[in-house]
Structures are given as structure tokens and as C-alpha cells.
């Protein structure tokens, strides 16, 4: 069984990206499990806090999820043509503690995103690539999942209502799962 950790880069209740991550989990092929982690409760990174108190529990929990997974799916909003600060902050925290290689080293990473705009987080996804490289992870370049006009593809409860998007998500998850399987030897 292939295991993937999934993280949404939005804290907002009713987030389109959280809804997209749930849709990805629902569309996962039978040989793959997608476990969803959260960035809620992760404080702003502060080296003094780290020195005084160590890694916060919310960070440690997310690190354990990511470290134990065969792959990582980042579902990112796009804020001001780039990555969301809260998600970058969570990644920065997870890279601390001297175990960055154990958490991210060589780990296959896919990026997806949903936006009410017409470009579906393409700039945010591009901005994540140097971060993934700096972590020592392996970006999956086999496909993109860019859900534009996402507010018309999910209902008020966050359920996916668009059949084409559903098919795109299923293909994305199957292809990423195959990449992770090849990378992990599973």
C-alpha cells in the first residue's frame, strides 16, 4: 500500500483547497491511502521559541505524518501570485530539528491547487518548486492539478460537483501514486 500525506495550505473554514484535498483523498486508487494533516495550531516560526521550547506539538504531529508517508501532496492556495505564508511557515517549522532529511529527503512531492480565479494557482505551484528542491525532496513533474474557477466546481459544503474536475483529480492521483510507487519500490 502506498501512503501519501496531504496538506492544505489554507486555514479558512470552507477552503476550496481543503475541499480539493478531500476530493483527492476520495479519488485515491485502491492501492493508495491519502492521510490529511493540518497546519492549524502551528505558530509563526521563532528561533527563540524553538530554543526555549523545542518543536511545537502541532509541528511534531505533522512532521511524523509526512516522515512516515511515501509521498507528499501539497494543495496550495495562491496569494499575491505566490505561496501562502501559513503553509510556508509550516514547512519551515518541519525542516527544523535536525531531521529535515528524514522528513523530506528524496520524498516524492506533488502540488495541486484550487482558485476562484482563472489560472488555478499556477504561480503558487511554480513558486513551491525551489522550496521543494531546498528540502531535498523530489518534485513530481508528471502533471499539474490546477482547478480554476473552483468556486463553481464545489458546492457550499465543499463537495465536488464537476465531473470533468473529478476525472482530472482521479487521473492526477493515479499518476502521482504510480510515481510514488516507482520511487519507493512498492
pLDDT tens per residue across span 116-158 = 999 889 999 999 999 999 999 999 999 889 999 999 999 999 9
- Give me the CATH topology for the region 2-184: Rossmann fold (3.40.50)
Residues 6+ away with beta carbon under 8 Å from 38 = 7, 8, 58, 62
pLDDT in tens, 54-107: 999 999 999 999 999 999 999 999 999 999 999 999 999 999 989 999 999 999
Considering all CA atoms of the chain, what is the largest pairwise distance in Å, rounded to the nearest integer?
Answer: 50
Question: What count of other Cβ atoms lies within 10 Å of the Cβ of residue 122?
Answer: 17
Whole-prediction pTM = 0.96
Give the model confidence (pLDDT) of 19-67 as tens digits: 999 999 999 999 999 999 999 999 999 999 999 999 999 999 999 999 9
Residue 79 DSSP symbol: B
Domain ranges of the chain: 2-184
Amino acid at each position: 500500500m502506498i501512503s501519501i500525506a496531504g496538506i492544505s495550505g489554507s486555514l479558512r473554514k470552507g477552503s476550496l483547497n481543503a475541499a480539493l484535498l478531500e476530493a483527492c483523498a476520495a479519488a485515491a486508487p485502491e492501492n493508495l491511502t491519502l492521510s490529511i494533516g493540518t497546519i492549524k495550531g502551528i505558530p509563526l516560526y521563532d528561533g527563540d521559541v524553538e530554543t526555549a521550547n523545542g518543536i511545537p506539538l502541532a509541528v511534531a504531529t505533522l512532521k511524523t505524518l509526512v516522515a512516515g508517508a511515501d509521498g507528499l501532496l501539497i494543495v496550495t492556495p495562491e496569494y499575491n501570485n505566490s505561496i501562502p505564508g501559513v503553509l510556508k511557515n509550516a514547512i519551515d517549522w518541519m525542516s527544523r530539528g535536525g531531521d529535515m532529511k528524514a522528513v523530506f529527503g528524496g520524498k516524492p512531492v506533488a502540488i495541486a491547487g484550487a482558485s476562484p480565479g482563472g489560472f488555478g494557482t499556477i504561480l503558487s505551484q511554480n513558486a513551491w518548486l525551489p522550496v521543494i528542491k531546498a528540502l531535498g525532496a523530489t518534485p513530481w513533474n508528471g502533471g499539474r492539478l490546477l482547478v480554476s474557477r473552483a468556486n463553481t466546481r464545489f458546492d457550499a459544503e465543499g463537495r465536488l460537483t464537476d465531473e470533468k474536475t473529478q476525472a482530472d483529480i482521479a487521473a492526477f492521483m493515479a499518476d502521482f501514486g504510480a510515481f510514488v510507487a516507482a520511487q519507493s519500490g512498492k
